[in-house]
């Protein structure tokens, strides 16, 4: 019965029927524990299979429990490879593993023989990737290994072994560890090689990862048509295999793209659909993503105050983890928008210390630029010329890029928009104009009307301070007003008309 259940589970996994596979493996585990408890190696293997199936169905908590039990059982019988395999796959449990779990993997790695093997290459890749997490440097495991050295050795070993799946995993680590965030071309090349390997070995899960990474690279360079093709391909695979997590993920991407196009109604509808899908697919990550996406939507609907209690609670709850600075950045924007300049300034001062050589060093690389953008937005709104120069210095190396944090949960537009607003705050008119012109060109290329209205308004505000440029300022505001009305953008409409009344009218003869 155990053999048949295990075979049935393996067949279900091959057919991407993950829920059925989890049921079969779970029954096999129950029989092993109740009738044949002496078969410890078989129990460890079956628990590993169960954990994989539970991960595929999005049952993160159950998957973590099964994999930890597999690690323990393998450790009891001194099965080094079984223990390392289960410990490594424990790291695949999205939003559920802990730094203590990383210690489990590190201890398993230390017991492995120092020779080429598929498993050793995979473990090195995974450890290197985990070591880039914010906060890892404060754990008991910090300093024992070097992430870049591990990633380099893992990729070299994978290429020596010449197994496509192992090379793909090492490339995934290289994407984050060996290629800097701003090296978009290098990251795109890595993701493209991963996609080629995924198609070669017929791995839908690897193809999901590769296409997601390509979407990120395309959006960071403003190549929205290519990003759309990747999203469509991603959705086609999710539809073919009926995978809940990937249905949720692609729906969040489509909500983000609808927002980019200025279609608030469709974006909100997709966000609500993603919220429902995420309750089953990833109950830990999906509520956070929903709130983050809601922030940008509610802001443009002029309803941001509805989220204040949630943002305040989450910013306090996550102050010490990897997402803490992002929550703080959102809260700073809310305070600035609602006229509470002292509270916004307090957050900016906390995160941007004058004279600091590095800003936000503990922030995940894909979120760091987004946090800088949020702080720049708040800084410009409250006219904070003390911290503006520090933010300009931090953002200028990325002036050619666009901002899309995390796994495409939002699109914050070109970096040049934020540099323009900061430089305007610093009264550096010529440099600000240059950045605003670059932003308008980038927003036209990516067809992002919400962001364009913001740039037009900020640029007009800069020009309105000069009598010889009032005509130019009025022209910019007229275009901003037309966009705001055409796309039914409540916040943009209010701001543009306020600018028309105050900044332009005060200079009228």
Cα(196)–Cα(455) distance, integer angstroms:
39
What is the DSSP code (8-state) at residue 500?
I
Cα(131)–Cα(139) distance, integer angstroms:
10
Per residue in 210-238, pLDDT tens?
Answer: 999 999 999 999 999 999 999 999 999 99
- Radius of gyration over every alpha carbon of the chain, rounded to an integer in angstroms: 25
Q: How far apart are the first and last CA of the chain?
A: 92
* Strands, E assignment, 289-383: none
Residues in the chain, overall count: 509
Q: At a CB cut-off of 8 Å and minimum separation 6, what does 316 contact?
A: none
CA dist list (Å): 355 to 364, 389, 393: 22, 10, 11
Handedness of CA 433, 435, 441, 444 (dihedral sign): negative
Residue with tokens 């994999």, as numbered in its chain: 67
The model's pTM: 0.83
Cα(273)–Cα(306) distance, integer angstroms:
20
Cα(136)–Cα(131) distance, integer angstroms:
6
Please tell me the predicted confidence (pLDDT) of residue 503. Answer: 59
Please tell me the predicted confidence (pLDDT) of residue 509. Answer: 40
Query: For the chain, what percentages of helix, strand and coil (3-state, to nearest 5) are there?
Result: 75, 0, 25
In the chain, which residues have pLDDT < 50? 507-509
Q: Are 484 and 294 in contact (CB under 8 A)?
A: no
How many whole angstroms from its chain centre is CA 119?
28
DSSP string, 45-70: HHHHHHHHHHHHTT-HHHHHHHHHHH
Per residue in 382-439, pLDDT tens?
Answer: 999 999 999 999 999 999 999 999 888 999 999 999 999 999 999 999 999 999 999 9
- At residue 403, the 3 state secondary structure works out as strand
């Amino acid at each position: 019965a155990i053999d048949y259940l295990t075979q049935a589970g393996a067949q279900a996994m091959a057919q991407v029927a993950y829920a059925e596979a989890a049921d079969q493996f779970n029954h096999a585990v129950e029989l092993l524990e109740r009738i044949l408890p002496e078969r410890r190696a078989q129990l460890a293997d079956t628990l590993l299979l169960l954990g994989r199936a539970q991960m595929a169905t999005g049952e993160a908590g159950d998957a973590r429990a099964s994999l930890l039990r597999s690690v323990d059982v393998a450790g009891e019988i001194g099965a080094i490879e079984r223990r390392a395999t289960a410990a490594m796959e424990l790291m695949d449990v999205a939003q559920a593993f802990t730094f203590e779990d990383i210690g489990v993997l590190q201890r398993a790695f230390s017991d492995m023989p120092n020779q080429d093997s598929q498993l050793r290459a995979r473990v090195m890749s995974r450890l290197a990737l985990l070591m880039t997490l914010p906060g890892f440097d404060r754990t008991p495991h910090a300093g024992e290994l070097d992430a870049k050295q591990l990633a380099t050795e893992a990729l070299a070993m994978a290429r020596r072994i010449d197994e496509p799946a192992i090379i793909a995993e090492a490339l995934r680590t290289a994407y984050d560890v060996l290629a800097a965030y701003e090296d978009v071309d290098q990251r795109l090349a890595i993701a493209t090689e991963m996609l080629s390997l995924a198609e070669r070995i017929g791995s839908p899960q690897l193809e999901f990862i590769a296409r997601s990474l390509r979407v990120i690279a395309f959006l960071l360079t403003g190549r929205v048509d290519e990003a759309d093709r990747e999203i469509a391909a991603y959705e086609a695979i999710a539809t073919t295999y009926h995978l809940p997590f990937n249905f949720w993920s692609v729906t969040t991407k489509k909500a983000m793209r609808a927002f980019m196009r200025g279609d608030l109604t469709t974006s909100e509808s997709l966000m609500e659909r993603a919220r429902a899908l995420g309750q089953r697919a990833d109950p830990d990550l999906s509520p956070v993503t929903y709130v983050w996406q809601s922030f940008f939507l509610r802001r443009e609907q002029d309803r941001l105050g509805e989220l204040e209690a949630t943002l305040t609670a989450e910013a306090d709850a996550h102050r010490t983890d990897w997402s803490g600075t992002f929550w703080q950045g959102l809260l700073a924007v809310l305070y600035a928008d609602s006229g509470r300049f002292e509270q916004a300034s307090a957050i900016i001062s906390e995160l941007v210390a004058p004279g600091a050589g590095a800003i936000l060093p503990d922030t995940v690389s894909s979120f760091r630029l987004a946090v800088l953008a949020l702080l720049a937005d708040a800084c410009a709104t409250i006219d904070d010329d003390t911290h503006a120069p520090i933010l300009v210095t931090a953002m200028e190396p990325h002036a050619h890029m666009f901002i899309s944090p995390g796994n495409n949960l939002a699109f914050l537009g070109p970096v040049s928009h934020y540099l323009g607003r900061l430089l305007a705050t610093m009264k550096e008119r010529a440099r600000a104009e240059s950045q605003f012109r670059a932003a308008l060109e980038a927003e036209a290329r990516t067809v992002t009307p919400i962001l364009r209205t913001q740039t037009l308004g900020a640029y007009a505000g800069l020009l309105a301070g000069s009598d010889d440029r009032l005509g130019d300022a009025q022209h910019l505001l007229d275009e901003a007003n037309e966009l705001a009305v055409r796309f039914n953008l409540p916040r943009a409409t209010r701001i543009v008309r306020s600018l028309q009344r105050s900044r332009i009218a005060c200079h009228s003869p």
